[in-house]
């Protein structure tokens, strides 16, 4: 969990920015420029240019204003701290965190006999909060503004390629809880599973329920930037990545696999025999 403070800071060239917005303060009814004064138990509106005339107390201006220094700091909370807070609130959790699966590797040894206690790595299952990812990725968000269906198809194509490289199980979940009478659906798109939730069921609820059900059989990774959902799935034993981190994983995987392909399939210079074939 990472938190960045918001703060006010000076803006360069404020006149140009104000002009771009065509803001007219006199027409802003929600944030009027004047003030409300009281007289004989009733309030009345006073335009800003007449405020000093109507004031019955002296107008105080501090000659030298103290400018507070701008502070900007980031706060990061580890998985262990999230787990501690979760367990203090909801009780002890038996499932493990990401570090328990991705911790330092132990030295491998080949036993003479196969023990019943031999640890086997669970297959990975990636659950993707579809709309959360679409609106977090600039390229998909731009498409969604004009055609949401095209943005969904683009995301599915990207995740299909990613699944082909990783050889894991990928489930992409889309919200359809506002569709009246919608029973929900589960379809297969190439090598992906695509879920549309039923009426009154959000993608968050589906992902949380599924994570809890399959955590014993899969290493579950949930891709979403929803903070509340991230906290819950960690408590169910899943690993969480933000939508931004998923994009970085996809781009890194694509770049790595393409580099591996070119390394294994170098371009061989033309030979005299090649020239004969061309002729």
| pLDDT score at 105 | 52
Q: Which pLDDT tens digit goes with each residue over 61-92?
A: 655 556 656 666 777 788 888 878 877 777 77
| pLDDT score at 219 | 86
Are 130 and 272 in contact by the 8 Å Cβ rule? The answer is no
Ranges of residues in the chain with a pLDDT under 50 are 110-116
Phi-psi region of 261 (alpha: psi -120 to 50; beta: other; left: phi over 0): alpha
**Which of 125, 115, 157 shows the shortest CA–CA distance to 140?**
157
Tell the burial category of 188 from Cβ atoms under 10 Å away from its Cβ (0-12, 13-18, 19+). exposed
Question: Which residues, other chains included, contact 218 with Cβ-Cβ below 8 Å and sequence gap of 6+?
Answer: 122, 123, 124, 125, 169
Report the number of secondary-structure helices (H) and strands (E) in the chain: 11, 10
**78-101+120-262 carries CATH number 3.40.50:** yes
| pLDDT score at 185 | 86
| pLDDT score at 86 | 79
| pLDDT score at 170 | 92
| pLDDT score at 7 | 67
Kindly list the domain boundaries of the chain, sorted by start residue.
2-54, 78-101+120-262
Are 73 and 5 in contact by the 8 Å Cβ rule? The answer is yes
């Amino acid at each position: 969990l990472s938190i960045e403070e918001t703060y006010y800071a000076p803006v360069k060239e404020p006149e140009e920015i104000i002009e771009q917005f065509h803001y007219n303060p006199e027409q802003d009814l929600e944030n009027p420029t004047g003030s409300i004064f009281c007289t004989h138990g009733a309030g009345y509106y006073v335009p800003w240019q007449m405020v000093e005339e109507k004031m019955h107390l002296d107008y105080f201006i501090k000659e030298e204003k103290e400018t507070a220094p701008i502070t900007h700091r980031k706060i990061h909370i580890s998985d262990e701290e999230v787990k501690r807070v979760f367990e203090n609130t909801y009780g002890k959790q038996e499932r493990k965190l990401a570090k328990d699966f991705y911790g330092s590797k132990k030295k491998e040894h080949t036993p003479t006999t196969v023990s019943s206690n031999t640890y086997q790595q669970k297959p990975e299952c990636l659950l993707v909060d579809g709309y959360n990812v679409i609106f977090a990725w600039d390229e998909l968000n731009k498409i969604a503004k004009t055609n949401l269906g095209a943005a969904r198809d683009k995301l599915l194509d990207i995740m299909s390629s990613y699944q082909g490289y990783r050889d894991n199980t990928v489930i992409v979940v889309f919200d359809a809880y506002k569709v009246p009478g919608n029973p929900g659906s589960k379809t297969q798109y190439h090598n992906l599973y695509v879920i549309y939730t039923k009426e009154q069921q959000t993608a968050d609820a589906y992902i949380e329920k599924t994570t809890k059900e399959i955590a014993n059989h899969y290493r579950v990774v949930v891709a979403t930037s929803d903070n509340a959902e991230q906290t819950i799935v960690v408590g169910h034993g899943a690993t969480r990545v933000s939508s931004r981190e998923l994009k970085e994983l996809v781009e890194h995987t694509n770049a790595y696999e393409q580099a591996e392909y070119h390394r294994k399939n170098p371009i061989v210079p033309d030979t005299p025999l090649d020239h004969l074939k061309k002729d």
